[in-house]
């Protein structure tokens, strides 16, 4: 397994180790001790599965009081996966990272709590599994406009299938700082 630090502190691109032969392959998609030894010591409390047809865009989502970290893995298809750092005291606040994740490349992307998450689908059918560091609270969810010109995200599609709610999220510059993610530090305190 290879772990690569990204331009956003605390976010990692992970290349999984695949063991294969003519019968097929085996890989370990998560093992807490191994990930902790590599510097990714997150506690995951919920697993999610998302299935989308080609051209769907979901995001850019985050939770305010219950900031969520995500460990994203594509099991079928291909997605353009994006994280935007919304942690106010982060040196990369307002910056984004983006990677194309595909079933055949066996990579994961870890986005720490306080990083908004979204993706668009590139394959005909796309299945994504992701582990979360906190529970989903519908009333706590917020978002950033997916095509906010200030963010400069180079999406690989121009006319995505998107929900009216996601299309109506505000630009980052119009979000009240009180509505940005409140990220807990390792000792249970809060960053603002």
Residues involved in catalysis: 61, 130
Q: Quick one: three-class SS letters along the chain?
A: CEEEECCCCCCEEEECCEEEECCEEEECCCCHHHHHHCCCCCCCCEEEEEEEECCEEEEEEEECCCCCCEEEEEEECEEEEEEEECCCCCCCCCCEEEEEEEHHHCEEEEECCCEEEEEEECCCEEEEEEEECCCCCHHHEEECCCCCCCCCCCCCCCCCECCHHHHCCCCHHHCCHHHCCCCECCCCCECC
Angle ∠(125,160,112) on CA atoms, nearest 5: 75
Q: Of 120, 119, 174, 114, whose CA–CA distance to 144 is shortest?
A: 174
Q: Are 127 and 50 in contact (CB under 8 A)?
A: yes
């Amino acid at each position: 397994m290879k772990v690569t630090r990204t331009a956003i502190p605390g976010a990692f691109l992970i290349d999984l180790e695949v063991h294969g032969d003519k019968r097929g392959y085996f890989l370990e998609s998560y093992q807490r001790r191994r990930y902790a030894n590599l510097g990714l010591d997150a506690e995951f409390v919920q697993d999610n599965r998302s299935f989308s047809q080609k051209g769907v865009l979901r995001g850019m989502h985050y939770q305010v009081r219950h900031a969520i970290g995500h460990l994203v893995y594509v099991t079928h298809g291909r997605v353009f996966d994006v994280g935007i750092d919304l942690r106010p005291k982060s040196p990369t606040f307002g910056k984004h990272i983006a990677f194309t994740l595909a079933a055949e490349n066996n990579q994961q992307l870890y986005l720490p709590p306080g990083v908004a998450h979204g993706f668009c689908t590139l394959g005909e059918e796309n299945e994504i599994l992701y582990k979360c560091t906190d529970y989903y609270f519908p009333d706590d969810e917020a978002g950033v406009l997916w095509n906010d010109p200030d963010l400069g995200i180079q999406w690989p599609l121009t006319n995505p299938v998107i929900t009216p709610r996601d299309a109506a999220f505000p630009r980052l510059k119009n979000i009240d700082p009180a509505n940005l993610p409140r990220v807990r530090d390792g000792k249970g305190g809060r960053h603002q």
